[in-house]
Amino acid sequence: MVRFDAANTLEDMMTYEKPVRFTPRQLRAFTNNYSTILGSGGFGKVYLGKHLNGVPCAVKVLQRNLDRKTEEQFKAEVITVGRTYHVNLVRLYGFCYDRNESALVYEFMKNGSLDKYLFCNNNNNNQAIGSWEILYEIALGTAKGMAYLHEECRHRIIHYDIKPANILLDDNFSPKVADFGLAKLCNRDQTHVTMTGYRGTPGYSAPEFLLHNFPISYKCDVYSFGMLLFEILGRRKNTKVGDTSSLDWFPSCVWEKYEKGELEELIISCGIEEAQRERAQRLANVALWCVQDSPQVRPRMSVVVKMLEGGVEILPPPKPFGFMFSVRANAINSSMNNDSKSMTSSGEEDSNWYYKNTREAPIEFESEIQIDNGANQV
């Protein structure tokens, strides 16, 4: 176990590449007795902190209750997040764990979460993001972080709750995937995990979560990412209720326009500048692939990265949202069961999603990936 006193800097701690154990007294000093709340979620509140040397951090204090879920999740976060590093993942500095308090100490993201730039009408936020090109780069960076979690970690990490609120932005608006509060590990060779109970956020969760006792694969994150792409495309929430209680669901609008060959018209209506419209069409195509009903049909995140980078020509996607257009859950179940018999971690052909005879840009993660292979620190 690595421990530090107040004289140590966070930079010194990070050289150990393992989570650092702090005391409750240190955390109270970092947060000025928890005086500034940055946000809150299902597992606790997040406070602004500052180390004694001035380095900012975010302290997530977990709720304590009588069941084991919070404690198990805390340990999972420390073990998995603490020994992974990627430029598009939020870095875990350390933790606190004793009889009365459990907390996680993360790097601080100055520009907050993506949702406040997509959904807020604040002109300052809109001006901060500026060109839609920045949003496209946020989508690409997020995809790279997810590809690392799914395909580059020693143990595959399924996030289960990809959404704009869990994409944080640093000083340069580079994205970092955050909140592994719903993360669950499975071996890379294990294609599916069995779930009991609903996970994720309604509106982003994959349709297989609605099926009783159905094995869930990492492709549930791909579906959520597709829903995130729609919101980046439109700079709006996917679901709006009109004055007459009519439902305006943006993903279905995108498919309808695509099917009619009128996607560019929709992109123009979203206010996307002319120089970025080709990329916007590409993003819309990728989103439609990601939200296919069957997990097998959805591309892996490494493939999504290739598609977004523009190095391949994307094949026309099939019609998505069958579960919403008169196709009942048992039909989806049948399709998915057929997929699960043949689905393996390495058995998918990239040609399912793009033409092989086009130029391919290599996937570059833009940073050296470090995985601690040492002993568990928790």
Please give the torsion angle defined by the CA atoms of residues 166, 67, 27 and 9, in that order, rounded to the nearest 10 degrees.
-60
Instruction: Label residue 76 left, alpha or beta by phi (over 0 means left) and psi (-120 to 50 means alpha).
Output: alpha
DSSP category for residue 215: E
* Geometric angle at alpha carbon 282, from 280 and 284, rounded to 5°: 70
CB 92 within 8 A of CB 77: yes
Catalytic residue chosen out of the listed positions 5, 98, 161, 179 = 161
Cα dist from 290 to 294, 299, 328, 339, whole Å: 10, 6, 20, 16
Judge whether 161 counts as a catalytic residue.
yes
Nearest to 300 by CA among 150, 166, 85: 150
DSSP category for residue 32: T
Backbone angles phi, psi at 302, to 5 degrees: -65, -35
C-alpha span between 159 and 185 (Å, rounded): 9
Longest dimension (CA), the chain: 64
Nearest to 38 by CA among 178, 137, 173, 142: 178
Tokens matching residue 338: 């057929």
Q: What amino acid positions are annotated as catalytic residues?
A: 161
